[in-house]
């Protein structure tokens, strides 16, 4: 059974889910999951009997994902990231692994790229290894996978990104974007470019919203051609930096919504003989370890990876999937030599 581009195969389109049974029975998804768990002795309560009868009437059959899930049986947590070559994702996985270890769990990782079908296959591979839950750092705002996990009562939590529905532990991206651009404005810059990252992610959307809040607060109207949607990779930053710095009129400052983007801008600046920290100011985001070790140390917005990971484990193990909580960790601006006062 091969998943389609939206993550669900045609064969799955009419499958009765735990949510369907819960709605018909007037109980929670967790109650249905518990009642229909064939690994424990069946309850004889009136509610349990009614749930089983309704499940039978609806034709409910345990989903492959749900049947492969062994809550608490393996003490392993699956972590899904786009790629480990991305320093941010590697840092996030390491933080989740540390947080899991404190709860006597072991974290295993799978990578998916940015394609929904690959994400679906990677998630299934984790569940086939009987993980007790999944931490997703891959979620797009329109991602079908968290929806499927919710529908089937599978423990999961989103980190760094959110779809606005599943339990999520993220950084306060709007505040972070605001801090970055407010810092540049306070240094006297008015001609500021913003490299947003991919706007199918909540992190990019939030950071752009924060940047715009800082512009509005200062009464500035940014040049629309200097707000550039990009990927999150170094190459994307180098390409956008080349376009900005090779133009006749160029900004005096750049906010790159990811440190990889900022590294790309640094590369472009070198090619164009533009001195970062003197001719142009630059602010990144996440404060990866390399940021402070560069020849011109990078001003960056620090993401609290360990706090985000700890909260994610708390959400995952507490079983609060139906309350759809969103927890945000406050970022911190770390000023360094890459940003300087406008001369």
DSSP codes of every residue in 33-68: HHHT-TTSPPP-SHHHHHHHHHHHHHT----HHHHH
Q: How many whole angstroms from its chain centre is CA 71?
A: 24
When pLDDT is cut at 50, 70 and 90, the band that residue 117 belongs to is confident
Sign (positive or negative) of CA dihedral 84, 87, 89, 90: positive
Q: Where are the domains of the chain?
A: 17-60, 73-171+305-330, 173-303
| Mean pLDDT, rounded, of the chain | 88
User: What is the average pLDDT across 236-246?
Assistant: 96
* Region for residue 277 given its phi and psi (left: phi exceeds 0; alpha: psi -120 to 50; beta: otherwise): left
Question: 321-343, pLDDT tens digit by residue?
Answer: 455 589 999 999 999 999 999 87
Count of helix runs (H) and strand runs (E) in the chain: 12, 12
State the Cα–Cα distance between residues 296 and 196, nearest whole angstrom: 22
Q: Give the pLDDT of residue 116.
A: 80
Q: Per-residue pLDDT averaged across 118-123, rounded?
A: 89
Give the CA-trace dihedral at 114, 116, 118, 119, to 10 degrees: 80
CB 192 within 8 A of CB 178: no
Range 14-29 average pLDDT: 83
**305-318 and 87-102 helices, crossing angle to 10°:** 50
Answer for the pair 128, 76: CB distance below 8 angstroms, yes or no: no
| DSSP character at residue 343 | -
Collapsed DSSP state (helix, strand, coil) of residue 94: helix
- The superfamily in CATH containing domain 73-171+305-330 is Response regulator (3.40.50.2300)
> Class of the 17-60 domain?
mainly alpha
pLDDT at 319 over 80: no
pLDDT greater than 80 at residue 139: no
Name residue, tokens 């393996």. 74
Q: What is the pLDDT of residues 221-235, one digit of tens each?
A: 999 999 999 999 999
pLDDT exceeds cutoff 90 at 61: no
Strand partners, 157: 135
What is the mean predicted confidence (pLDDT) over 278-296? 97
Residue 42 reports pLDDT greater than 90: no
Residue 10 has pLDDT above 50, yes or no: no
* pLDDT classification of 128: cutoffs 50, 70, 90: confident
pLDDT confidence of residue 285 = 98
What pLDDT is attached to residue 130? 85
Predicted TM-score (pTM) above 0.85? no
Of the ranges 30-39, 139-148, 163-172, 207-216, which one carries the lowest mean pLDDT score?
30-39
Query: Do the domains spanning 17-60 and 173-303 agree at the CATH topology level?
Result: no
CATH topology of domain 173-303: Rossmann fold (3.40.50)
| Alpha-carbon span 317 to 99, nearest angstrom | 12
Q: Whose CA is closest to 340, among 214, 183, 211?
A: 183
pLDDT at 29: 83
pLDDT for position 34: 79
- In DSSP notation, 225-247 reads GGEE---SSHHHHHHHHHHHHTS
């Amino acid at each position: 059974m091969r998943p389609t581009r939206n993550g669900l195969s045609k064969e799955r389109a009419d499958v009765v889910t735990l949510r369907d049974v819960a709605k018909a029975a007037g109980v929670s998804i967790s109650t249905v999951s518990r009642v229909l768990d064939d690994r424990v002795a069946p309850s004889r309560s009136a509610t349990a009997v009614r749930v089983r009868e309704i499940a039978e009437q609806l034709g409910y059959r345990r989903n492959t994902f749900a049947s492969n899930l062994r809550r608490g049986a393996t003490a392993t947590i699956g972590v899904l990231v786009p790629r480990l070559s991305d320093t941010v994702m590697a840092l996030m996985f390491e933080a989740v692994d540390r947080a899991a270890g404190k709860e006597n769990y072991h974290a295993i990782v799978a990578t998916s790229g940015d394609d929904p079908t690959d994400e679906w296959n990677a998630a299934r591979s984790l569940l086939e290894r009987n993980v007790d839950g999944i931490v997703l750092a891959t979620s797009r705002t329109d991602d079908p996978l968290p929806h499927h996990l919710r529908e089937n009562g599978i423990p999961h939590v989103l980190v760094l990104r959110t779809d606005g529905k599943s339990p999520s532990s993220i950084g306060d991206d709007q505040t972070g974007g605001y801090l970055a651009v407010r810092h540049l404005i306070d240094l006297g810059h008015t001609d500021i470019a913003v490299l947003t990252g991919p706007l199918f992610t909540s992190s990019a959307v939030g950071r752009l919203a924060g940047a715009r809040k800082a512009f509005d607060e200062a009464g500035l109207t940014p040049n629309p051609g200097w707000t550039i949607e990009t990927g999150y990779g170094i190459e994307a930053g180098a390409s956008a930096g080349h376009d900005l710095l090779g133009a006749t009129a160029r900004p005096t400052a750049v906010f790159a919504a990811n440190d990889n983007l900022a590294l790309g801008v640094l590369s472009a600046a070198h090619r164009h003989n533009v001195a970062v920290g003197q001719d142009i100011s630059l602010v990144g985001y996440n404060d990866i370890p390399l940021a402070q070790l560069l020849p011109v140390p990078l001003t960056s917005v620090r993401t609290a990876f360990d706090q985000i990971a700890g909260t994610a484990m708390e959400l995952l193990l507490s079983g609060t999937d139906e309350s759809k909580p969103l927890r945000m960790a406050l970022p911190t601006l770390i000023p360094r030599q890459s940003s300087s006062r406008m001369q």
